[in-house]
Amino acid sequence: MDNSPDVHICEVAPRDGLQNLDVIVPTGAKCELISAIVAAGVSEVDAGSFVPATVVPQFGDVGAVVAHALTHKSTTIGAVVPNVKGAERALAAGVNSMYFVISASETHNRANVRRTIEEQLEAFRVVRARINAQKAPERPHLVGAVATAFGCSMEGDVSEAAVCRLVQGFAEAGADEIGLADTVGYGTPTQVKRIVRAVRNETGPKMMLRLHLHDTLGAGLANVVAGLEADVRRFDAAVSGLGGCPFAPGARGNIVTEDLVFMLERMGLSTGIDLDRLMATREILARHVEQKHLTGHLHEAGIPRVLRRVA
């Protein structure tokens, strides 16, 4: 019997949640956070980013953090790789999944990685070849992540055609999965459904899709529902709503994992995640992260006693 949950959630707080903070979270705290997330039943964790510490000091310890994360054998441990060198480091570390990000907005992509979209796609092809050269059991899952798929803080609207061109490039280069990211949180439910369906038409029904949503303008959970209605069952989220985009100053972070789990379970969709244990991760973060960075409706209001049994 298939006991997999109805909805798969990847926890991104250890990477996307921490990368823009103005304080360096100690390595031990990052490891403690990942262990607590795994203990809550989360089956995939984005543990860090293989970028130079001179660019993102938060990830100067990514090797140690990923090594700890990989001790949790039942959980998929992934990392962002911005280029071929980062991918080679991730391969050497033994990650289970790689997230290779390219923006659908040319301006955002140049600002983010200092390359054109086509230059990034060529790097993605090289990474695919590097992975294919590994022995089959050691090949990580490769996600082609489309940033700014629902809008850009620099260009404004991003066309459906631009998103589909990048998706096509990822698919032709051998992506195992496509992620659509609302990097700056400008997306709306109608837009999410429209773009997801356009991408489905581009890739066919067999390509795995996920949504990475932000809550900048308060539409995050509404966009999850839109994704569900478009048959997406894989979502990224961050405990306590950590995160944001450096090119959207002041923007709120990722959708809140705790709120997402509560909503999905109330909708009758299983996640496999223990909400009480997930809520407890706030205590770890609060020791190192200012309260202003920690959000979440459940944390603010509490879970009403009459709704404690959310299944």
For residue 172, pLDDT beyond 90? yes
Helices (H), the chain: 27-39, 62-69, 84-93, 106-113, 117-132, 160-172, 189-203, 220-229, 257-266, 275-279, 281-286, 297-301
Question: What is the rounded distance in angstroms from the CA atom of residue 113 to the CA atom of residue 103?
Answer: 9
| CATH 3.30.420.40 holds for 8-307 | no
pTM of the model: 0.95
At 309, the pLDDT band (50, 70, 90 cuts) reads: low
Per-residue pLDDT band at 304 (split at 50, 70, 90): confident
pLDDT score of 214: 95
Q: Which helix (H) or strand (E) holds 10?
A: strand 8-11
Phi, psi of 273 (to 5 degrees): -110, 135
pLDDT score for 265: 95
Ramachandran quadrant class, 102 (left: phi over 0; alpha: psi -120 to 50; beta: rest):
beta
Q: For the chain, give every domain's residue range.
A: 8-307
Task: Determine the average pLDDT of the residues in 247-274.
Answer: 90
Predicted pLDDT of residue 246: 67
**Is 152 considered catalytic here?**
no
- Catalytic, out of 10, 152, 164, 245: 245
pLDDT tens by residue, 48-76: 999 999 999 999 999 999 999 999 999 99
Work out the pLDDT band at 227, boundaries 50, 70, 90.
very high
pLDDT at 310: 47
DSSP-based three-state secondary structure for 6: coil
Query: What pLDDT score does 302 carry?
Result: 83
